[in-house]
């Protein structure tokens, strides 16, 4: 194999740059040329390619975001779009494509391979950490630390004013990030999409804490928290998020002054942690190994701290199990 391409796609995650750097440097080490694709699949269709050499990836290991940029591309969801992409890659002489992104990006990579024969290898990068066949995805650790930092700062103001704070973390469908950050950040309650919660219990916790002298309370809520079966006394205003509704309800039921903080996109930004840089470096290099050894339609991941290669379909269709024991532990430790 003489030439491969690399792209970043879907939601950006801190550590994507470190992964691109690892792909480029490992490929050059192995005597293979690397083309960077700007703007994810949109850039493949447009032939927006840039030759990358070892100095193109200097000074990026510490940078958040992705210098190749990312994009959502609807045209790539069509067969015609993927054919166009394959033609562009063939024209450029690219024999293998490394896709750094989440499960949507992996689905695109799988279809591209099945329909056109272009060799594809996925590298998991998403702050949600919801991809099966890997314990960790690139960006998750940095986002977790960003949330923990935010919790600590909010706790300062919560204590000063004796308030309850509902903090909304990213996670429309998965609560891995919220659970990990909530546990490590010492949140009093953690509400996620995977587990039904009991509003009475959340309020009892706040009240019990207050009676025992706790002067603040942190309730960490994932965007897509499971709200089915909840009977709320307050009504949802138009377009009001779950976090605001929960905040209002806590105030109504406990009388505790409540504030809501939506962390939003700061969770995606920032310099990647050492752990994310390490993961990105290992997986980026492993993706090059995989493609050069003839693998295709695969994903590289980390299982029990060992690099493993899995079928990309298993990563897409597999369900990453929510750690109920960890959730239970978080509840126990927040008494
Ligand atoms: P994140 O988990 O951070 O959202 P993601 O990779 O899942 O990342 P998506 O927006 O779902 O992000 O997907 C990124 C791109 O991958 C899409 O814009 C589209 O071009 C391509 N893609 C997603 N789903 C499909 C699909 N079913 N078929 C073909 N291409 C797809």
- 125-151 confidence digits (pLDDT tens): 999 999 999 999 999 999 999 999 999
Quick check: is 333 in a domain?
A: no
Domain count within the chain: 2
Residues 107 and 210 in one domain: no
Residue with the smallest CA separation from ligand 1 atom 12 is 10
Residues 16 and 107 in one domain: yes
- Domain membership of residue 121 as a residue range: 3-138+272-317
Residues 152 and 205 in one domain: yes
β-pairing verdict for 164-169 and 306-311 = unpaired
Quick check: is 328 in a domain?
A: no
Q: What is the pLDDT of residues 251-290, one digit of tens each?
A: 999 998 999 999 999 999 999 999 999 999 999 999 999 9
| 108, 110, 127, 128: residue to mutate for ligand 1 pocket, most atoms within 8 A of CB | 108
Residues 176 and 211 in one domain: yes
Which structure tokens are listed for 217?
A: 């309370």
163 is in an annotated binding site: yes
Domain containing 303 — which CATH number? 3.40.50.450
Quick check: is 325 in a domain?
A: no
Which atom of ligand 1 sits closest to the CA of residue 13? 3
Q: What is the pLDDT of residues 195-231, one digit of tens each?
A: 999 999 999 999 988 888 888 899 999 999 988 877 8
Measured in residues, the chain has a length of: 335
Quick check: is 323 in a domain?
A: no
Q: What is the pLDDT of residues 87-127, one digit of tens each?
A: 999 999 999 999 999 999 999 999 999 999 999 999 999 99
Quick check: is 329 in a domain?
A: no
Which residues, including other chains, have CB under 8 Å from residue 274's CB and lie 6 or more apart? Answer: none
Residues 69 and 190 in one domain: no
Express as a percent the part of the chain with pLDDT over 90: 88
Quick check: is 330 in a domain?
A: no
Residues 228 and 299 in one domain: no
Residues 26 and 75 in one domain: yes
Residues 49 and 63 in one domain: yes
Average pLDDT over residues 291-310: 98
Residue with the smallest CA separation from ligand 1 atom 13 is 104
pLDDT at 172: 95
Quick check: is 195 in a domain?
A: yes
* Residue 158 pLDDT > 90: no
Q: How confident is the prediction for the chain on average, in pLDDT?
A: 95
Residues 263 and 278 in one domain: no
With the CA atoms of 41, 44, 49 and 52 taken in that order, what torsion angle do they form, in degrees rounded to the nearest 10? 60
Q: Tell me if residue 156 is catalytic.
A: no
72 is in an annotated binding site: yes
Ligand 1 site residues, Cβ closer than 6 angstroms: 9-11, 41, 72-73, 76-77, 101-105, 107-108, 111, 126, 128
Which atom of ligand 1 sits closest to the CA of residue 131? 2
Residues 157 and 182 in one domain: yes
Question: Angle at CA 142, nearest 5°, toward 140 and 148?
Answer: 100
Which structure tokens are listed for 259?
A: 């504030």
Residues 179 and 263 in one domain: yes
CB 225 within 8 A of CB 192: yes
Domain containing 166 — which CATH number? 3.40.50.460
pLDDT at 44: 98
- Confidence band of 60 (pLDDT split at 50, 70, 90): very high
* Residue 5 pLDDT > 90: yes
Residues 169 and 113 in one domain: no
Quick check: is 322 in a domain?
A: no
Residue with tokens 């977790």: 144
């Amino acid at each position: 194999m003489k030439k491969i391409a690399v792209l970043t796609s879907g939601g950006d995650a801190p550590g994507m740059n470190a992964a691109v750097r690892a792909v480029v440097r490992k490929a050059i080490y192995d005597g293979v040329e690397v083309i960077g694709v700007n703007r994810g699949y949109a850039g493949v269709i447009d032939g927006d390619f840039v030759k990358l050499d070892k100095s193109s990836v200097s000074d990026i290991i510490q940078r958040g975001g992705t210098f190749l940029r990312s994009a959502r591309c609807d045209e790539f969801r069509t067969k015609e779009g993927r054919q166009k992409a394959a033609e562009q890659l063939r024209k450029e002489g690219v024999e293998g494509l490394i896709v750094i992104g989440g499960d949507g990006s992996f689905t695109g990579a799988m279809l591209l391979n099945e329909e056109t024969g272009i060799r594809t290898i996925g590298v998991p990068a998403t702050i949600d950490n919801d991809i099966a066949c890997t314990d960790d995805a690139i960006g998750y650790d940095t986002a977790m630390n960003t949330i923990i930092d935010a919790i600590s700062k909010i706790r300062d103001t919560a204590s000063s004013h004796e308030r309850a704070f509902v903090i909304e973390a990213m996670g429309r469908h998965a609560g891995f990030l919220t659970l990990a950050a909530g546990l490590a950040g010492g949140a009093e309650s953690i509400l996620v999409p995977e587990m039904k919660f009991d509003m009475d219990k959340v309020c009892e916790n706040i009240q019990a804490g207050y009676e025992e002298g706790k002067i603040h309370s942190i309730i960490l809520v994932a965007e897509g928290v499971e709200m089915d079966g909840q009977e709320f006394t307050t009504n949802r205003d138009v377009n009001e998020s779950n976090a605001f509704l929960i905040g209002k309800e806590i105030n109504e039921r406990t009388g505790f002054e409540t504030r809501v903080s939506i962390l939003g996109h700061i969770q995606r930004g920032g310099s990647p942690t050492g752990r994310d840089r390490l993961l990105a470096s290992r997986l980026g290099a492993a993706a090059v190994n995989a493609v050069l050894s003839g693998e295709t339609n695969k994903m590289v991941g980390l299982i029990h701290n060992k690099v493993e290669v899995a079928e990309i379909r298993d990563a897409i269709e597999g369900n990453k199990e929510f750690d109920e024991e960890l959730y239970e532990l978080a509840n126990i430790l927040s008494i």
